[in-house]
C-alpha cells in the first residue's frame, strides 16, 4: 500500500514558525505525501517550497473552534484559495449543531463550497464532542451541501479519530463523499485500519513515522 498518498502532512500548532512550515513542506516533498495541512498565513511560503510538485496545499478555516460567522469563514476560504490553497478544511459551528440548527450548518458548508468552486472542501465535525446521532446528522448536512469530505477532528479537541466514528461516517457518506480521519494517528497499523474502514485521507503529524516503518 502506498500509504504516503493518503497522508495530509500536518502542522497546525500556534507556535509553528515559518522555518517549521518550510521543514514540513520539504518533508512532504521527500516522502511524496498527498498534501500539507497548515494555517492560511503560511500558504504563500508553502507554495514557494512546493512549486512544480504534486503536493497539494490544504488550509484550515474557522480553526479550531468553528464558532465565527459564516461570512468570516467564507472570506477566509476565498482568501486561502486566492493565496494558492488547493483544499479547504473547515470547522463546523458545533454549538449550532448542538442546538439542532441544522439549516445553519448546511447553509454554511454550502456557501463555503460555492465560494471555492472546484477546490476540495473537507468538513471537520469534531467527533469527540458529538453524540452518534449528531455525527450522522452533520454528515448528512455535509452531503446535502456537496462537501467533498467529512473529517473527524481538528486534533485540538478532547479526542481524535476512532475506528467507530469512521465506520459511522462511512455509513452516511457511502461513495458520495470521502472521509478524512485525523487526530491521534501515530502508527502504521492504525493508519491502514482507517483506510480499510473507508478513510481516503489521513491527517497526521506522524506521517514520516507511518511511511518509514513499512519494513518493520
The reported pLDDT for the residue numbered 90 is 98
**31 burial class (0-12, 13-18, 19+ CB within 10 angstroms)?**
middle
The percentage of the chain sitting over the pLDDT mark of 90, rounded to a whole number, equals 97
Indicate left, alpha or beta for 33 from its phi (over 0: left) and psi (-120 to 50: alpha): beta
What backbone torsions phi and psi does residue 156 show, to the nearest 5 degrees? -115, 5
Domain range annotation of the chain: 3-212
Q: What is the pLDDT of residues 91-121, one digit of tens each?
A: 999 999 999 999 999 999 999 999 999 999 9
CB atoms within 10 A of CB 171: 12
23 assigned to active site:
no
Predicted confidence (pLDDT) at residue 182 exceeds the cutoff of 90: yes
Under CATH, domain 3-212 is a member of which superfamily?
Aldolase class I (3.20.20.70)
60: part of which helix (H) or strand (E)? strand 56-61
Residue showing cell 480499510:
196
Q: Compute the distance between CA of residue 152 and CA of residue 165 in angstroms, rounded to an integer.
A: 7
Of the residues 56, 73, 86, 89, which is catalytic? Answer: 89
The percentage of the chain sitting over the pLDDT mark of 70, rounded to a whole number, equals 99
> Using 50, 70 and 90 to split pLDDT, how confident is the model at 214?
low
The reported pLDDT for the residue numbered 102 is 98
CB atoms within 10 A of CB 175: 7
Predicted confidence (pLDDT) at residue 172 exceeds the cutoff of 80: yes
Predicted confidence (pLDDT) at residue 215 exceeds the cutoff of 80: no
Of the residues 56, 113, 122, 151, which is catalytic? Answer: 151
Among 2, 1, 4, 39, which Cα is nearest to 21's? 39
Q: Compute the distance between CA of residue 212 and CA of residue 152 in angstroms, rounded to an integer.
A: 25
Among 80, 111, 79, 81, which Cα is nearest to 93's? 111
Q: For all residues of the chain together, what is the average pLDDT?
A: 97
89 assigned to active site:
yes
Amino acid at each position: 500500500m502506498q500509504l504516503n498518498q493518503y497522508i495530509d502532512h500536518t502542522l497546525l500548532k500556534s507556535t509553528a514558525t515559518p522555518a517549521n512550515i518550510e521543514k514540513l513542506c520539504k518533508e512532504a516533498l521527500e516522502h511524496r505525501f498527498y498534501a500539507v495541512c497548515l494555517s492560511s498565513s503560511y500558504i504563500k511560503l508553502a507554495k514557494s517550497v512546493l512549486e512544480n510538485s504534486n503536493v497539494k496545499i490544504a488550509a484550515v478555516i474557522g480553526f479550531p473552534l468553528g464558532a465565527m460567522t459564516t461570512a468570516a469563514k467564507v472570506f477566509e476560504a476565498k482568501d486561502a484559495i486566492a493565496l494558492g490553497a488547493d483544499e479547504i478544511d473547515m470547522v463546523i459551528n458545533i454549538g449550532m449543531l448542538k442546538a439542532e440548527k441544522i439549516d445553519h450548518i448546511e447553509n454554511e458548508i454550502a456557501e463555503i463550497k460555492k465560494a471555492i468552486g472546484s477546490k476540495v472542501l473537507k468538513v471537520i465535525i469534531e467527533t469527540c464532542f458529538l453524540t452518534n446521532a449528531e455525527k450522522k446528522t452533520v454528515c448528512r448536512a455535509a452531503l446535502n451541501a456537496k462537501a467533498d469530505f467529512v473529517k473527524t477532528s481538528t486534533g485540538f479537541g478532547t479526542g481524535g479519530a476512532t475506528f467507530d466514528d469512521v465506520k459511522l461516517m462511512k455509513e452516511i457518506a457511502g461513495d458520495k463523499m470521502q472521509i478524512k480521519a485525523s487526530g491521534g494517528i501515530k502508527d502504521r497499523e492504525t493508519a491502514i485500519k482507517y483506510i480499510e474502514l473507508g478513510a481516503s485521507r489521513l491527517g497526521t503529524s506522524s506521517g514520516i513515522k507511518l511511511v518509514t516503518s513499512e519494513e518493520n
